[in-house]
Amino acid sequence: MILLQTKTLFSCLITLALVACDRMPGKPTKETPVVIGSPSWTQSTFNTNCRGCHSQGAEGAAIPLIDAGYWKVASDAQVIQVIQQGQGVLMPSYLDSNGGPMSAEEIAALVKGMRSLWGAGSSGGQGGISGTVVAGNASAGAQVFAAACASCHATRGSSGSVTDPMYLKLISNQGLWSAIVYGRSSLGSPAWNEPMPNRPSGLTPTEVADVVSWIAQSRPTSPADEKLTYQPKNKNASDAK
């Protein structure tokens, strides 16, 4: 009888030990597989790679992507191209074959996921204007800029000059286009079809194209095309004279 009780007690202790081992503090748990394209993966990838510049609010350096208005105009193909190839100096390429951290499949999944999270059911290509830059008439753009934009964006404008050569070295024509089309509501900058000085209904798509073409004329040529305008004197040659 005593032997039977001892065996039973021993069996119970073994069972309790196994259960306890399975619940020991600090024991690694099985990781939940990451599903590329899932809402949690999309949010995490955005936070890691995009949020620093494209967050909602005034802290972001670029237009916010957490914005249904953006996804209404921008097409998936446009956004994918910008992420893959980069844009201007400020937006690098994220494609792995260009040295970036993401594959083409991951970029496509990210864009699809962001539209699902923040696009409010839109499919892009809506809103009456293109999401990509369109060539315009620079001469006409000068007049539109003077009337609707100069009070804020001329050399002495309240929001800083958009014709400053150093600014234009950093931003591409597509960047200028996006800045006008989407605006920055958090910074008080209206979108293209919102009220502006002398333009109660905003600009037309043609006027946006004209303004971008005119602003872009102030961009300096690339360093490869620039000629050296300052030649330092040869000190030894000067001394020899």
Output the pLDDT for position 115: 96
- Whole-number Å distance between alpha carbons of 6 and 44: 54
Is this model's pTM higher than 0.75 or not?
no
What confidence score (pLDDT) does residue 100 get?
Answer: 94
**pLDDT score for 185:** 80
| CA–CA separation, 121 and 138 (whole Å) | 36
Q: What is the pLDDT of residue 60?
A: 72
- Specify the pLDDT at position 104: 97
Would 36-127 and 128-225 be classified into the same CATH topology?
Answer: yes
Of 179, 173, 178, the residue nearest 215 (C-alpha): 173
Distances in Å between the Cα of 85 and the Cα atoms of 17, 80, 81, 107 are: 57, 8, 6, 11
Q: Which of 240, 142, 177 is nearest to 150 (CA)?
A: 142
Q: For residue 61, what pLDDT is reported? A: 78
How much is the pLDDT for 8? 54
For the chain, how are helix, strand and coil distributed in percent, rounded to 5?
50, 5, 45
State the pLDDT at residue 59: 64
pLDDT of residue 29: 64
Residue bearing tokens 């004279």: 241
Report the candidate in 65, 214, 195 with the shortest Cα–Cα distance to residue 154.
214
The number of beta carbons lying within 10 Å of the beta carbon of residue 68 is: 12
Mean pLDDT by 10 residues, the chain (241 residues): 50 51 59 84 95 77 88 94 89 94 97 94 89 94 95 82 90 92 86 93 96 94 48 42 36
Phi, psi of 180 (to 5 degrees): -75, -45
CATH number for domain 36-127, candidates 1.10.760.10, 3.40.50.2020, 1.10.3720.10, 2.60.40.10: 1.10.760.10
- The per-residue pLDDT for range 50-77, each reduced to its tens digit, is 998 898 765 677 888 998 989 999 999 9
How many angstroms separate the CA atoms of 114 and 112, rounded? 6
Q: What is the pLDDT of residue 238?
A: 40
pLDDT score, position 226: 43
Q: Where are the domains of the chain?
A: 36-127, 128-225
Which ranges of 90-222 does DSSP label H, i.e. alpha helix?
A: 104-118, 138-148, 150-153, 165-170, 173-182, 205-216
Query: What is the CATH superfamily name and number for domain 128-225?
Result: Cytochrome c-like domain (1.10.760.10)
Give the pLDDT of residue 229: 37
pLDDT of res. 206: 97
Tell me the C-alpha distance between 67 and 94, whole Å: 21
